[in-house]
Structure 1
Amino acid sequence: MRRALGARGFGALCVSTLLYATLTACGGSATVEGDKATVTPTTTTATSTTATAATSATTTTPRASGGAAVPPGDGDRPAREVETVPDQATGYSPAEEAFLEQLRENGLNIEGVEDQLTATGFSVCSNDMITRDAVAGQLVEQRRTDMDPAALGQLLTDTARANLC
Structure 2
Amino acid sequence: MRKFAFCLATFASAATLAACGGATVDSDDVTESGATSTTAAASTGATDATATATTSASTATVTERSTSIREGSYEDQPAREVDAPATMVPTYSPQEQAYLDHLKESGVNVDGIEDQLTATGATVCANDPITRDAVAGQLVEQRRTDMDASAVAALLSDTARANLCS
Bin for the TM-score computed over the shorter chain: 0.5 to 0.7
CA distance 1:8–1:104, shift in 2 (3 Å)? same
Structure 2 alignment gaps of length 5 or more: 26-60, 83-87
Structure 1 partner of 2:119:
119
Structure 2 partner of 1:100:
100
1:90, distance to aligned residue in structure 2 (A): 5.0
Query: TM-score, structure 1 length as denominator?
Result: 0.57
Report percent identity of matched pairs.
Answer: 51
| Deviation sequence 1:38-60 (CA, Å, 0-9, x none) | 4737468xxxxxxxxxxxxxxxx
Separation of aligned partners in 2, 1:156 and 1:97: 14
Query: TM-score, structure 2 length as denominator?
Result: 0.57
130-139 or 96-105, larger mean C-alpha shift: 130-139
Structure 1 partner of 2:130:
130
149-158 or 68-77, larger mean C-alpha shift: 68-77
1:142, distance to aligned residue in structure 2 (A): 2.1
CA distance 1:68–1:103, shift in 2 (3 Å)? same
Structure 1 alignment gaps of length 5 or more: 1-5, 21-29, 45-64, 83-87
Asked which structure has the greater CA Rg, the reply is 2
Counting only pairs closer than 5 Å after superposition, residues 1-165 of structure 1 correspond to structure 2 as 6-13=1-8, 31=15, 38=18, 40=21, 42=23, 68=66, 70-78=69-77, 91-165=91-165
Larger strand fraction of residues = 1
Q: Which has the higher contact order (CA 8 A, sep 6+)?
A: 2
Structure 2 partner of 1:3:
none
CA distance 1:73–1:107, shift in 2 (3 Å)? same
Larger helix fraction of residues = 2
1:102, distance to aligned residue in structure 2 (A): 0.7
CA distance 1:74–1:163, shift in 2 (3 Å)? same
Please give the root-mean-square deviation of Cα atoms over the aligned residues, in Å.
3.4
1:13, distance to aligned residue in structure 2 (A): 5.0
Separation of aligned partners in 2, 1:109 and 1:80: 38
